[in-house]
Amino acid sequence: MAGAAIIGGGPGGMMVAYLLGRAGIKVTLFETHRDFDRDFRGDSLHPYTLELLDGLGLAEKLLELPHHKARKFRLHTTAGPVTTADYTRLPTRFNYVALMPQARFLDFMAEQFRELPGCELQTGSKVTELDTEDGRVTGVQGMKADVVIGADGRNSRLRRLADLPAESLGAKTDLVWFRLPQRDSDPPDADVDLFFGRDHYIGLLTGTQGWQLGYSVPKGGYAQARADGVEPIRRFVDRHVPWLADRTHLLADFGQTTLLSVDISRVSRWWRPGLLLIGDAAHVISPVGGNGILMAIQDAVAAANHLVPALKQGPVPDEVLAAVQAEREPAVKLVQDDQVRIELRAARARELGRPLVPARLLQLITAMPGVRKRAARSNAYGPMAPTLSLP
């Protein structure tokens, strides 16, 4: 039995590897890096993901690891703070978003994966060659596989090797990420917040390693921001997040920052015979809102549901690969279309010198009964969330 070769040990790749292995499929997971410790990766585990892990018997053990429970999502506007989503109103015991360093989550899942019979994790292993026969992908670098799954992120090498180009949908913003330390005197309700000025915003995430902050710049504006230095960023934080003003001096130079190039893109076809793309390899989600991990995990669930019965028979038929895309693409399009509209609206507001967020209107809308709960549910589960059908 050849089984599955999975390229990329991010959340989507790790989850589909675990689900296939748990179902008795032979799996080899290739990860380019020797560990999972990269800074400024998505750290959000949504209620959907926690419920999935709970059904697999893993949530309790995972949540013994250090994490932070984010229970609300807030926008801080010129008219004051607005709570747009309240997870505490969801009818689940996981009525929060667990903020945990992604490396810690991936290390945990890798440990569970390695314990499964017939499953192998190869770290420090870069896949640079697809094996094909009569137009069908049959493995990687001499290793036979009944299916190859590309889950190697937004800059997917496998996507390029498979000649499945992604189309950009129009992101208009980049983010300059940096860290500041947490202090006991910080507001206890601050966890996932956006602070808006006229031309920029700051995204704020708490966690177990201090505050992560993302300062928005126009798409392609990182070089100019670097030339301007960190002082404009410090001034923005001092003005809009004043309780951090006592430590912004710790951001001393641009060497302490990381550029996160915001992208919204997807490939028109997620598969070719013998190969399937999932997660950011198939569709890049903007980091604003933290939906990228959720979408990748849901891709993994849908892929496992379709692939396990097929893999028990041998090489995966084309119609099974197409069915994964057919199930997941509508949900991805809904999320990306919303993100593109927000990006275009913010870019237009910058051009006209208007506030990035219509604060008064937003306050009126979120004051309506049920709006915060519906927004929380939408963010917690995404549209058309798949249910794991495997034992």
Phi, psi of 287 (to 5 degrees): -70, -15
Nearest Cα to Cα of residue 244 among 200, 289, 205, 199: 205
Find tokens 């997870």 and name the residue: 87
Nearest Cα to Cα of residue 290 among 41, 38, 16: 41
- Find out whether 315 and 147 touch, Cβ atoms under 8 Å: yes
pTM: 0.93
What's the gap between Cα 20 and its chain centre?
Answer: 21
Find tokens 């893999």 and name the residue: 311
pLDDT in tens, the chain (391 residues): 589 999 999 999 999 999 999 999 999 999 999 888 766 566 899 999 999 999 999 999 999 999 999 998 888 887 778 888 899 999 999 999 999 999 999 999 999 999 999 999 999 999 999 999 999 999 999 999 999 999 999 999 999 999 999 999 988 889 999 999 999 999 988 888 989 888 888 999 887 778 999 999 999 899 999 999 999 999 999 999 999 999 999 999 999 999 988 899 999 999 999 999 999 999 999 887 678 999 999 999 999 999 999 999 999 999 999 999 999 999 999 999 988 888 887 777 777 666 666 555 555 555 665 777 888 899 999 999 999 999 8
- How far is residue 161's CA from residue 139's CA, in Å, rounded to a whole number? 12
What's the gap between Cα 184 and its chain centre?
Answer: 29
